[in-house]
Each structure stands twice: as C-alpha cells, then as structure tokens.
Amino acid sequence: MNIFLFQFSPNCLPQVGKFRNHPSISNNRPNTKIPCTKNKLSDSALALDLAINVQKINTHLEQKEKAMKKSKELLFTELCQYLSLKEEEMNRKWRKMREEEKWVLINKFVDEWGVHFHPLSARSVKEMVDEYLQDDNKSDPPMFPGLKRMLGMSKDA
C-alpha cells in the first residue's frame, strides 16, 4: 500500500497580511480619556460619598439583624407557649433533645401554628430556634472593619 503525502510549500498558501503594513489601519490612535461622571469629584468627595453609602449599608444590615433577632425571639416565645413551658425550661429541654426529637416537635408546632404565619417551614423554624438559643456573647465582626477605621467611622480609630 502506497501512501501519498502531499506537502504544502509555505509559499503556495496565501500570506495573512500584518495589520501594521495595512494602510487603512493606524496604530497612532489618539489617547482619549472618558470621564466616569459628569462632575469631576475630588478624592475627598468620593471618600465622603463612599462613607455615606457604607453607613447606609451598615444601618440597613443592623436593622435587618434586629428584625431577625426579634423574629427569632417571637418564634421561640410562641414555641414555649405551644408547649406550656417557660423559656428557661424550654432552653434546657431543647439542649437535651436529640435531633429526631427536635424535628418531631418542630413539625407538630409548624402543622398547628404555621397556618397563621406564612411562609413557615419546619427547617426554618428549627434553624431560628437553634440560632436564638446560641450564646449571644459572640458578636459578629463588622463587615468592613479596616474600611471603617480608614474612613474614621470606627470607635477604635
């Protein structure tokens, strides 16, 4: 069996022209600057604007955390009333329960009480009770501690 190999010579293929040799394309484009805003803001004005926006975000996050904490507290209080237990008793009982027992209890609670509070799932109730009963001694670190210090918003600065 004879195999015929056809080889192209480099000269028989058309050569792709280089852009720098093409007369219609110029490499000497003017360096244009496009402003990001209509107004030219100084660095201090931008920093102030950033600080205001960060403060708004932090305030919103703080309000959200307070609302979640209040929701967890309300839910835990309702769970205690459902079981006719005081909060301290419920706390001790909850910590001694196995996971399966917690799920049974939560599912019964959600089945009866959940019709008044939508959307309410057993998983979210269990998570909220677990979070509520965790030690509140742990405080979450601020979202941007270094940034707050740089902008002079931190009490540690």
Per-residue pLDDT of 123-137, as tens digits, reads 888 888 888 888 553
Closest CA to 128 of 156, 155, 94, 104: 94
Read off the pLDDT of residues 52-96 as tens digits, 9 standing for 90 and up.
999 999 999 999 999 888 888 888 898 899 999 999 999 999 999
pLDDT digits (tens, 9 = 90+) for 99-108: 999 999 999 9
Give the pLDDT of residue 7. 58
Q: Report pLDDT digits (tens) over 18-56.
A: 555 555 555 566 676 666 666 677 888 888 888 999 999
User: By the 8 A CB rule, do 97 and 105 touch?
Assistant: yes
- The residues, any chain, with a CB within 8 Å of residue 145's CB and separated by 6 or more, are 154
User: Residue 157 — pLDDT band, cuts 50, 70, 90?
Assistant: very low
| Per-residue pLDDT, 137 | 37
- Report which DSSP code applies to 33: -
**140 compared with 55, residue with greater pLDDT:** 55
Instruction: Give me the half-sphere count of Cα atoms (radius 13 Å) on the Cβ side of residue 29.
Output: 7
What's the whole-number mean pLDDT along residues 105-127?
80
